[in-house]
């Protein structure tokens, strides 16, 4: 059958060239078995059969067209073989036709049309605003927003792929409502300078959605903050040096830019943008003032600029003043006073009773004695008689002694 079709096609093309005004019609068979196979995350192989055997007298090639599912507007492309590869994020509409040519003459078959959905029972836009950050060489974080029609109890499975290696999501990220909005994973080895592919499966009782995404590492790489920052005080100001951060893409010195932030007493002071060199000098510097210094890094546009700045480095204090020795004493006094007030409020009456006990009341006998009317009056000497004592001295005669 293919040989007879080839013969008819050949005679048709030759005859049409000899007599262009004739209306000979030859039907070119449509491609059959039009299918797609996912060879790695997001990369699909489109294949079909042309039903034509090879013949040196004419050439066979194909015209393909791929567009968004539900939209037949697409850009036509020509292919020489009955297969091609394409990255697909969501479901697509695809069609293919066979073209037979000999010299300047061509004959085309009808289109073979197929829809290849990647979801069922839910919109192809179930996940939106998917973004990823690659950091620490082998870590990746991805976040997304879910459509309103995706229920909170939907099940997720996420896979990352680079080259021929695939690894799953290790930890899901949830929002305040406990809804999954992202994924964190660790590859185990450093990412390569090749596209990272991501498959996110969202499924439920009567629906599923499996969009694919891909990112270039150079765009989503977030560098680590600069380290080993050294500061030298010189007569003309400060001389600052730091180590260039490592990048998966390039380590050329001219491919990095830096921001140096100098602040005074936690107040913004100055931010300098440094290109190429991992050093800078600051002349507007007061040796009597305390400053805080931080540095962050990013790849420049000259070397495939990334989207994210690194985090700021650890704070380095310049001209750090010794702490005031009176501050701890003041803090201690305030704490003790606060504790005393709390204790006084909580057990105030009991504490006051212990510190200032009440004066005891007199006994009943004492009360009765004090209430009598014949109480003891004070002594008055005028109201008492005076007694006079007479003393007589008798002397003996010496004569009586001799008798």
pLDDT, one tens digit for every residue, the chain (403 residues): 454 454 454 445 444 444 344 444 567 889 999 998 988 888 899 999 988 876 677 888 899 999 888 777 788 898 988 888 888 888 888 999 999 988 888 889 999 999 888 888 887 778 889 999 999 988 999 999 988 888 888 899 999 998 888 999 999 999 888 889 999 998 888 888 889 999 999 998 888 899 999 999 989 999 999 999 998 888 777 889 999 999 988 888 888 999 988 887 666 566 778 877 788 887 777 777 788 889 999 998 888 888 899 999 998 888 766 555 666 777 788 888 877 777 666 666 666 666 667 676 666 666 666 666 555 555 555 555 555 666 666 666 554 444 3
Cα separations in angstroms, 29 against 5, 72, 84, 237, 253: 9, 22, 20, 82, 60
pTM to 2 decimals?
0.65
Q: How many Å is the maximal CA-CA distance in the chain?
A: 216
Instruction: Give the pairing of strands 221-222 and 127-135.
Output: parallel
Q: On the CB side of 146, how many CA atoms lie within 13 Å of its CA?
A: 23
Beta-strand ranges (E) seen in 80-154 are: 83-87, 92-102, 105-108, 112-116, 119-120, 127-135, 139-146
Angle, vertex CA 182, rays to CA 206 and CA 212, nearest 5: 60
Distance CA 81, CA 19 (A): 31
Question: CB–CB of 64/31 below 8 Å?
Answer: no
pLDDT score of 150: 86
pLDDT score of 7: 42
Distance CA 121, CA 206 (A): 7
- Residue whose pair of structure tokens reads 């020489």 in the numeric block: 80
Distance CA 229, CA 73 (A): 56
Cα separations in angstroms, 72 against 34, 36, 68, 113, 212: 17, 18, 7, 10, 21
Question: CB–CB of 225/297 below 8 Å?
Answer: yes
Determine the 3-state secondary structure of 196 from DSSP: strand
pLDDT score of 374: 54
Which two tokens mark 234?
């010189």
pLDDT score of 401: 46
Tell me 138's DSSP state: T
Which two tokens mark 87?
């990255």
pLDDT score of 268: 59
Distance CA 319, CA 324 (A): 15
């Amino acid at each position: 059958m293919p040989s007879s079709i080839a013969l008819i096609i050949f005679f048709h093309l030759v005859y049409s060239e000899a007599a262009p005004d004739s209306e000979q019609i030859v039907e070119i068979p449509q491609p059959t078995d039009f299918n797609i196979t996912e060879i790695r995350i997001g990369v699909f192989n489109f294949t079909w059969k042309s039903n034509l055997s090879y013949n040196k007298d004419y050439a066979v090639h194909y015209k393909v067209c791929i567009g968004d599912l539900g939209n037949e507007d697409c850009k036509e492309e020509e292919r020489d073989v009955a297969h091609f590869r394409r990255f697909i994020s969501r479901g697509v509409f695809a069609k293919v036709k066979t073209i037979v040519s000999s010299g300047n003459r061509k004959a085309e078959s009808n289109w073979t049309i197929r829809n290849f959905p990647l979801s069922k029972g839910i919109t192809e836009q179930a996940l939106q605003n998917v973004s990823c950050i690659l950091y620490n060489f082998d870590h990746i974080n991805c976040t997304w927003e879910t459509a309103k029609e995706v229920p909170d109890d939907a099940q997720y499975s996420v896979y990352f792929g680079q080259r021929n290696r695939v690894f799953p999501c290790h930890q899901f990220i949830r929002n305040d409502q406990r809804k999954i909005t992202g994924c964190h994973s660790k590859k185990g080895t450093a990412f390569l300078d090749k596209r990272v592919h991501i498959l996110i499966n969202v499924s439920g009782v009567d629906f599923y959605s499996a969009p694919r995404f891909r990112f270039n590492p150079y765009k989503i790489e977030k560098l680590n903050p600069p380290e080993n920052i050294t500061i030298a005080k010189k007569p003309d100001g400060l001389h600052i040096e730091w180590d260039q951060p490592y990048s998966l893409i390039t380590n050329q010195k001219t491919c990095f830019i830096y921001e140096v932030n100098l602040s005074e007493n936690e107040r913004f002071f100055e931010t300098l943008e440094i290109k190429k060199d991992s050093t800078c000098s600051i002349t507007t510097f007061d040796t009597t003032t305390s400053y805080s210094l931080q540095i962050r890094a990013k790849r420049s546009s000259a070397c495939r600029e990334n989207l994210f700045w690194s985090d700021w480095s650890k704070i380095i204090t310049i001209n750090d003043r010794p702490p005031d020795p009176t501050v701890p004493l003041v803090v201690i006094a305030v704490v003790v006073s606060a504790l005393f007030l709390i204790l006084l409020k909580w057990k105030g009456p009991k504490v006051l009773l212990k510190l200032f006990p009440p004066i005891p009341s007199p006994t009943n006998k004492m009360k009765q004695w004090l209430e009598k009317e014949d109480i003891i009056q004070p002594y008055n000497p005028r109201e008492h008689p005076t007694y006079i004592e007479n003393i007589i001295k008798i002397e003996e005669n010496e004569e009586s002694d001799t008798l």
